[in-house]
A and B are shown apart, each in its own frame.
Chain A
């Protein structure tokens, strides 16, 4: 409660450029204060609710983790085993021997970084043009981009396939990356963020002689880090988990990504040995988890940096 008060006063004095954010924070501050005044019963209920939510999220993850260390015969037993006994790492070694796991990891990392990078750059640049630069037909271009957002990819997938196959790009990195690199969501999100920036600062920068690129890098971007980081995070997670397109394009482990590769551990007709599948899931989750923890810090940093600067 005390930190939020301090932030609140900081906002009051030093951040006149973000009225909406300040108002929101103040409102949430008030809500917080009022819940704190309620009786212990409410507090207990609040904690119970939080514990429930944590359990709902954490138990399946915990189950994945312990299953990845169980022996095959211990996975389906009643009563359920809540701790692997005896614990084994055999599932992990089976995972790396039964499928070319590290090839899939390499492809996933390459494809995810390339598509994410392309999406982020395209998103920022196009949003910048559509929000802060003036040129004829701007709103029409924006409408077209938004319209593209409405077309589900299951519909475009066949025509994309035809195009890429004719280019001879099946089972290649560029065949997977380029059709995925187009971005409408990022344009939309970043444009709205840029439009929310106070016009006075942009104007002041222009008056001081900042060119379009300088304006973007030195003025607009520093104020937009939190949104950009959130956008980057969503993009990376989605690219990492992307299934349909890489599955259609990839023929073997030379280009297939992790989500595609892991399915080959499952048995389509018969009994799947879930140990290696869970081990693969754990390993596929780790990079994203690390990235998330790292970016989350940046996100908060960006948030406070924006509040005290200017």
Chain B
């Protein structure tokens, strides 16, 4: 209902009514340093509360204010997902009143960094004498552009292999995930026989819902990649091999794509899936069968995901300094544990797993343990997916076509050309500038 007429045409009329007035305002005067609104002692934190984390965020903020007298943090509801936060941040870039700290996802940070709208953090970190070596390397280096880091990891997730233990037992399989995708292929017929005709062996999100994210694992598993640095490598024989594998899974009736596999999986209709660690809590709560989790097939080929926190470029140095103090606090070992236990995200600090409360938590939640043990085996995603504008959507669309039966080599060749063209026209000139 709310979804329905949200942008109803009356809304158009409403905004249009003041269009004349607004036109005079243009995009406002460029916000000079410090005039981005806000006082230097109040830190405005724009967050979408990833994983329904608002109460935890408030708890951490309270602790921060207690530890840093004189500093206040204002938590702002900046959207329901990362894209909305980016939209709101974009509006504030045009209109002033910038936040001090903003949540940026793996996909949205790069464009802001490239256009110099986020501060590079390295100098700030050095001045504040903060050590970054405790951040999980793959997560920290996700925000690297020209040897500068533009965000620190905050709500980070990885995909996990989820499986229905009852079905695994019925098919006579060992209680573990597949070692690699070839092994999965030998399991699939057994699973299909055990599941029956009205159930599906494996369901993955479709191309508009991050199939391109989990498929990254298959590509790497077969030795391919979406890109090497900035050169797209879809036509690489190994990448094509992975694409063909995906296509054959669908052709043989083992694989189905859907908008969100979690409901089908928890309803017991689907045997296994690759989903975000963020789904862990919900799936475990909803499912009426024992849920198993495992590393993604093939070692060391798990992509990272989720979001970090950054600092806008056009605010005063004082505000930046305070913002960094807050970010450091928000992502320190203690708080990353508090935050991740409440949400299902990954602790972003290496030392976090050593804390006694985290040890106790993992003891009780073996599935969360799988996710954390997989963390050192993660790998930063290929540039073409996360850093090229529209990269994820472009690859997702191609993968959808493959699953529907189009020629793999042809689709990947087109992806190569398109990605190259987007890079040449939109990124190349700004790199190193």
Contact = CB atoms under 8 A, between A and B. Distances in A.
Interface in A146-203: 148-154, 156-166, 168, 170, 178-186
A258 B1 CA distance: 12
Interface in B3-47: 4-23, 25-29, 37
Contacts of B1: 64, 241, 281, 284-285
Interface in A239-254: 239, 241-245, 247-248, 250-253
A80 B214 CA distance: 29
A277 to B, nearest CB: 10
B106 to A, nearest CB: 11
B157 interface: yes
B292 interface: no
A271 B266 contact: yes
7 contacts: A158-B91, A165-B28, A179-B15, A183-B14, A267-B51, A267-B278, A270-B262
A262 interface: yes
Nearest to B17: A182
Contact of B17 (A154, A181, A253): A181
B79 interface: yes
Given A148-B16, A268-B51, A269-B155, A162 B27 contact: yes
B365 interface: no
B44 to A, nearest CB: 8
Contacts of A161: 91-92, 94-95
A190 to B, nearest CB: 12
A64 B4 CA distance: 14
B76 to A, nearest CB: 4
Nearest to B91: A161
B77 A260 contact: yes
Interface in B247-294: 262-264, 266-269, 276, 278-283, 285-286, 288
A248 B91 contact: yes
Interface of B: 1-2, 4-23, 25-29, 37, 48-52, 54, 74-82, 84, 87-88, 90-92, 94-97, 155, 157, 262-264, 266-269, 276, 278-283, 285-286, 288, 306, 343-345
Given A159-B22, A180-B14, A268-B81, A165 B96 contact: yes
Q: A144, A244, A284 — which one has the most chain B CB atoms within 10 A of its CB? A: A244
Interface stretch (A17-25, A26-34, A230-238): A230-238
B11 A76 contact: no
B20 A148 contact: yes
A185 B155 contact: no
Contacts of A186: 13
B51 to A, nearest CB: 6
Contacts of A119: 10, 14
Contact of A165 (B80, B84, B97, B345): B97
B28 A162 contact: yes
Contacts of A165: 28, 37, 92, 95-97
Contacts of B16: 148-153, 156, 182, 184
Given A153-B14, A163-B21, A269-B155, 6 more contacts: A148-B20, A170-B97, A264-B77, A268-B48, A269-B345, A270-B276
Contact of B306 (A159, A179, A259, A269): A269
A273 interface: yes
A252 B17 contact: no
Contacts of A98: 52
Contacts of B84: 247
A250 B77 contact: yes
Contacts of B278: 267, 269-270
A77 interface: yes
Given A163-B22, A182-B13, A183-B13, A268 B80 contact: yes
Contacts of B87: 248
